[in-house]
Each structure stands twice: as C-alpha cells, then as structure tokens.
Amino acid sequence: MIAQKIARLVLGFHCHQPVGNFDGVFAQNFETAYKPLIETFAEFPAIKFNLHISGPLWEWVEANRPCFFNRIAELLDRGQLELLGGAWSEPILPMIPRRDRIGQIRHFNEIIARRFGKAPRGMWLAERVWEQDLVESLARSGMEYTVLDDYHFHRAGLDPAKLGGYFLTEDQGHLLRLFPNSEPLRYLVPWQEPDKTIEHLLKLAESGANPPLAITADDGEKFGGWPGTYELIYGKKWLARFLTLLEANKEQIQTSTFSQILEEFPPLGRIYVPPGSYREMTEWVLPPERLELYQRGQKNLELADADFALPIQSFFAPGGYWRNFLVKYPESAEMAAHMRSVSQTIARIENAFQSVKLNPTTDQQLAIDSAKLELYRAQCNCPYWHGAFGGLYMPHLRNAIYRHLILAENHIDRILAPAGDYIRCLEMDFNADTKIEIRLDNRHLIAWISPAQGGQIYELDDRRTATNILATLNRRFEPYHHAVAKAAREASKAEAQEGPSNLHDRITLKQPGLDQLLVYDRHPRKALVDHLWPATTTAEQWRAGLEQELTAWPTSEYHVDEILKTEDSYLVVLSQESDWNGRVIRIKKEIGIHRQANALEIGYELNGLAGLEPHRFAVEINMAAMAGHEDDRQFRDHSGRNLGKLDSSLTLVNEKSITLVDEWLDLASRLEWQEFGPEEVWTLPIRTVSNSDGGYESVFQSSAIAASWLVGGGSEDSFRCKFRWVIKPSREMG
C-alpha cells in the first residue's frame, strides 16, 4: 500500500491596532474581523491555527470585550489554538534599546501567562523587521521561534523551493527557530477562491518536499476589517468554505500549530539572515527617486524573457533598510530620539538604585513602572514609518506617541525633580547627529531647541495635557503623488465631458482638488523659522510656496552665543550671520523660560540694516496636535473674538496677539506681541496627501503662522522685537 502524501499547513493571524487609534476603529475591527474570525474557527474544531493579539488591542479587548478571552480559552483548552507572544506594544525591535526589547516581550509573556496559565513559546515580529542580533534579545526573553517572510530566506541565498520547514539560527550562542511565511499564499489567501489554495497545497503534498510545510500568517484585519473584506469573508463565506475544503481534504492537508511542527520535525539546517523586512517594506523605505528606479527594474524583469529573468529575480537587489525611515522622515527621527532619551533616563534611575544597593520606595517604584509602561506605549511602530497607508501621516497616531513620552517624563520627574517649582537646562546630542540640542523645562513645559536646524524649537511639550504642540509633518513628495495628480486631472476632464468622474480603478480620490495640495516644503515646519524676503512678498505667495528666501536662515546652523542662567530663569542666545549683496546681516534670537511660567519669552534682533532697501522679515511658527476643521478649534484675537477655524487662511493687520484654541484638549497657545508687534500675521493650513483604506485623502497636519515686519529702508542699523508664547488651558484664555 502506497503511503498517502501529506502537506502540513500552519495558519496564523496577527491582530493589531496601534496605540492612539480611535476607539471606533478598535470596535469596528473587533465586530467585523476579530470576533467573526474566532467564531468561524470555533465551528471547525479539527482545524488548528495560531493567533497573535498585540498589546494595545489586548488592552482594549480586556477593557471593552473581556468575554472574548473566554472564547479564546475554550479554543486553547481543546488544543485547536496556539497563542503567539511578541513585544507588547508592537514596536520595531531593532529601533528600540535591547533592554526594552526584552522588557516588552517579558511583560507580554507575563500578561498572557496570567490570563491563560501558560506563556507563549514563539512570537510575532512586528512588520517582520529583522536584524541578526535580535536572536539574543528574543532568546533571553524566553522565545523559541518567530516568523519571517520567505523573502528573508531568499535574500540569505536559499532556494525558494526548499523552504518547507523551519531553520535554526544563533547569535553569540543564543538559539532561535525561524519559520518562513509564504508570499504566494499571502496573495492567494483570501484573494483567490478557496479551491486555488487547496490546489496549491495538494501540489505541495505531491512535490516530495521534506517536510511539505506551508505557512501563511498575515493580518487578521484582512479577514473582515479591510474595505470590502467583510462581505467576501463572511457574506460570501470565504473562510467557512476554505475551512470546509480543508476538512474535506484532511487526508492530504493537515493543519498544525507552530509548536506542533517544532515537536514533530527537526530544523532543515542553520541559517543567518541579513537585515530585512517583507518585500514591500523594503520598497517603501527607499528615497522617492530610488523607488521609481527600483520599480522600473522590477518591471523590466517582469517583461524580460523567463530564461533571462528567473536567475536574476532570485538575487534581485533588495530595496532599502528599515532604519532609513528615520532618515527619510526627520519627524520619525525626532520621535525616536525622544523615546531613546526617556529609555536612557529610566535605565539611569534603575542603575543608580542598584549601584548603591538601595531599593526604591513604593512611590518611586510605582513611578518607575508607570514611566516604563508609558515608554512601551510610545514605542508602538505604526507612526514611525510610512508605506501603503497613513502611519506617520496620521496626526492622532503621532500625537499618541508624544502623549505617552510626556506622561513618562512626568512620572520620571516624581523621582528626579525637586519639590515645588524648578527649572532645568540640558545640553546633549539627543538625536545622535554629532550636534548639541538644548532642552529647557520646568513643571509646565519642555522646549527642545536645535541650533543646527535654524535655531528652531522642534518640540514643545505641554506637560498638563501631555501634548507636543510641534508634532508637525512636512509636505514632501511621495511617488504615489504622480498617480494622484493624474487621477485628479482625469477626474476633472471626465466631469467636464461625461458628468460623473471616471477614475482609474486603482486610484480612489476621497476628495476633489487633491492635486492642488501637492506643494512641498523647503524648510522644517517647526517654530521660530526665520525668513528674510523681498518687501513685496505677499501672503498669497507664501501660501503657494513661492516666496523667495534671501538668506539660509530656515535651514542653516545657528551659533549658541551663551546660555544665561539665574535662579529663576534660563535664556538661550543664538545667532547667525549671512552675507547679502556684499553686506553682513546678523540675526540674534533669544529663547527664555521662567521657573514658574507656562510660557516662553522670545526676542529677536537684526543688525546690518542701515542703508538696506526695505525687506520683509518673518518669524514662522507651525502648531500641530489640534484638529483643523472643528467648531471648537479656532483662532482668536486679543479680545477673544473667534477669527475662524484652525484650517483658515487669515491675514491680520496690527493684531496684539493671536491664540490657537482647542477646547476638546482644553489647550490654548497664544502669541503675545510685547515690543514692536508685526505689521501683518498670516496663517495657512498645512495639509498633506496620503493613502488610507478608503483611498487618497487630504490630512490636516498643522496651522502655520507667519508674523512679518518691514525692516531696513532707513538709517537705523538694528531692528528688535519681542513676544511671549503662552500655553494655558483654553478655559482660562480669553
């Protein structure tokens, strides 16, 4: 009798919602994806599967749908389900310090073990971002295995036809097992009819592969959460039909958990995997011009003769390296630098207690634990990068990262800060660029200053509301903007000729006029961005990005002249000199903070103006973290009169102050002109264009405010102005 040939299938589902996502998004995905997924599998007890629930989603389920865990416990008890662990908040592990990698994984292991009585053996690796030194962190955390993409193994030089099992890897003697996730199955499940996947698995069984193992582990949101998938998966019963076919073919297709495979099969061998992530991620991280070239190379291989293309395809150069998202998007690097600073401070506190062999008090330990948990939340990966969908482009996700970093800072101050009011100044290379940044803080505010970046304030934290008022994002070119512009033109043409728009089926524009928003910034959208323009520069030119910069102030390095320190205040004095038509124009900028004040004192002085024809000097401040098009988010004048929503374009003349109010946050940010106020103040909503589940859309990022003065044109050599930047509860601000 001939033995039956059998394929082994490992099904895995990764369920995740990022820290800071809207409650409605959690709830919608629970009802349309997570709950029906588990309920459907419960009807097929013989089909084994694996499940990962990220920490932020776990926390939401525990608070809002706790009975869901009872259902999971039933499937665990009957041996149908294996739970995977992971780093608790779903961080990109190579991005965070080793101590936090281990801490996050162990923290989640303890949560799972407390709830279900058993810690996981393996873990889900966020976005499958891999570096070989992760082996030590994962092994020391108690993990035996993780899942990578088959793309990782191709890059390591393995034959794609010989990935029917798992591999052993090591680093410094620490061991880990690696499972290859099948990209072909990722595009079959659930996008093709179920019988196509069955055919694929039956061919695998007949292939003679040893062992004939196939793994498909992918986003749980794909099974009901993504647009159109609920009807496919549950309306048309794709999943039930698929599981029915698996049952019908159980003699040749057997489902397994990861741990079962470890118990029943030895590793196929040892492997060392180069840094990487899934294939699409390596494309998204490339600079725009390189991505376009890379995509042309891929297209050429698709069009080439198979005998020529196939040998090249296996070794086709990988795209980019995940860490370069921190280069491509400086805003990501800013968040990461603040995150590292918080992590280092917590580590120094713990090391200080250990070095003197002293245990923290109960209150101190509570502060340390609370700071660490907020740090973990702030390490959630989603806002640190940008791919097919929003990520970094979603303000509420960036705001959440900063919120938890600021909350961690507040917990840290319960240990480090003196009682009562205080003032502090730190000078360090926080972002590892060899340049010194300056941090000023008291109990109300934390201001981060970059002398190397135009002497600008690049982060301003209101500690009361845990809000970074400068969580801004630049408008920059993305390769998909070509398609957006083309689709917008075709929509306009179709509307004129045919009535309803008739867009290309792969490009959905959620709003008209997106092509008009494809304007790109030439300087950081931060605070105290200094400009010198021709006197004829208008608000309309500035809003269109057509203003002419006469100096390099917005992007040049400023010199730190001195930091004046008294018992009650610190004053940072910065300067820069520029050659303009044979003369030297010097700008001096002062940024001050008082021990008790929830405000910054700002002063400017220009020298070298005598005999210079009139020019327009402007100071630009971009404020974020406040929604733009809501009635309770508004500009107000000195008397408290509503001037319009925060996405308004205003031109104000001789105003004494301008206030940005967010009543939902109970936050108001006021610029009060104290000495020689601006002749005009212009505002501009900063909107980006990015993709979402429903199509391309405009996203309000920040309100830009430019205060401008005419300088020069007389015998006066100097110009001076001062203003106060006050952060208060909106209910206290007129």
Q: Report the candidate in 314, 87, 105, 127 with the shortest Cα–Cα distance to residue 217.
A: 127
509 and 636 fall within a common domain:
no
Angle at 644 between CA 643 and CA 645, to 5 degrees: 140
pLDDT of the residue at 462: 98
Q: Structure tokens of 312?
A: 């090249």
- Asked if residue 456 belongs to a domain, the reply is no
Q: What are phi and psi of 508, to 5 degrees?
A: -115, 120
Q: Can you tell me the mean pLDDT for 190-202?
A: 96
Does position 2 have pLDDT exceeding 70, yes or no? no
631 and 701 fall within a common domain:
yes
d(CA 34, CA 41): 11
> Of 517, 540, 563, which one is at a domain's C-terminal end?
517
598 and 494 fall within a common domain:
no
Comparing 315 with 16, the larger pLDDT belongs to 16
Least confident segment among 268-277, 486-495, 595-604: 486-495
**Residue 396: is it exposed, middle or buried by C-beta count within 10 angstroms (0-12/13-18/19+)?**
middle
Q: Express each pLDDT in 453-501 by its tens digit.
A: 999 999 999 999 999 999 999 999 999 999 999 998 887 554 433 332 3
613 is annotated as an active-site residue: no
Strands (E), 505-568: 527-534, 559-565
Query: What is the rounded end-to-end Cα distance, in angstroms, of the chain?
Result: 90
User: Would you place residue 372 in the very low, low, confident or very high pLDDT band (cuts 50, 70, 90)?
Assistant: very high
Helix (H) or strand (E) holding 422: none
606 and 665 fall within a common domain:
yes
* DSSP, res 479: T
| Number of domains forming the structure of the chain | 5
User: Would you place residue 599 in the very low, low, confident or very high pLDDT band (cuts 50, 70, 90)?
Assistant: very high
- The CATH number of residue 669's host domain is 2.70.98.10
Question: In sequence order, what are the residues at sequence separation of 6 or more whose Cβ sits closer than 8 angstroms to the Cβ of residue 351?
Answer: none
Q: Can you tell me the mean pLDDT for 240-261?
A: 97
Catalytic residue among 133, 144, 171, 219: 219
Does position 314 have pLDDT exceeding 90, yes or no? no
535 and 580 fall within a common domain:
yes
Least confident segment among 155-164, 234-243, 282-291, 346-355: 155-164
198 and 263 fall within a common domain:
yes
d(CA 54, CA 652): 48
> Of 517, 543, 574, which one is at a domain's C-terminal end?
517
Question: In sequence order, what are the residues at sequence separation of 6 or more whose Cβ sits closer than 8 angstroms to the Cβ of residue 285?
Answer: 319, 320, 321, 322, 324, 325, 328, 385
Q: Structure tokens of 357?
A: 């062999």
Comparing 503 with 221, the larger pLDDT belongs to 221
Q: Are 51 and 122 in contact (CB under 8 A)?
A: no
605 and 659 fall within a common domain:
yes
Q: Are 521 and 474 in contact (CB under 8 A)?
A: yes
Domain enclosing residue 290, as ranges: 286-317
Least confident segment among 1-10, 132-141, 486-495: 486-495
Give per-residue burial for 343-361: e unless 16+ CB within 10 Å, then b.
Answer: bebbeebeeeeeeeeeebe
Per DSSP, the three-state class of 720 is strand
Least confident segment among 217-221, 486-490, 579-583, 705-709: 579-583
- Asked if residue 474 belongs to a domain, the reply is no
- Asked if residue 373 belongs to a domain, the reply is yes
Catalytic residue among 59, 82, 127, 221: 127
225 and 342 fall within a common domain:
no
127 is annotated as an active-site residue: yes
Q: What are phi and psi of 326, to 5 degrees?
A: -75, -15
- Asked if residue 475 belongs to a domain, the reply is no
Q: Report the candidate in 20, 16, 55, 56 with the shortest Cα–Cα distance to residue 34.
A: 16
Three-state secondary structure of 567-622: CCEEEEEEEEEEEECCEEEEEEEEEEEECCCCEEEEEEEEECCCCCCCEEEEEEEE
Counting DSSP H helices and E strands in the chain, the numbers are 21, 28
Dihedral angle computed from the Cα positions of residues 329, 335, 338 and 342, in that order, rounded to the nearest 10 degrees: -140
pLDDT of the residue at 332: 98
Q: What is the model's pTM?
A: 0.95
190 and 254 fall within a common domain:
yes
Instruction: Give the count of beta carbons closer than 10 Å to the beta carbon of residue 189.
Output: 21
pLDDT of the residue at 695: 87
266 and 376 fall within a common domain:
no
Amino acid identity of residue 338, one-letter, is H
Q: Report the candidate in 513, 509, 547, 485 with the shortest Cα–Cα distance to residue 687.
A: 513
- Asked if residue 463 belongs to a domain, the reply is no
pLDDT of the residue at 493: 52
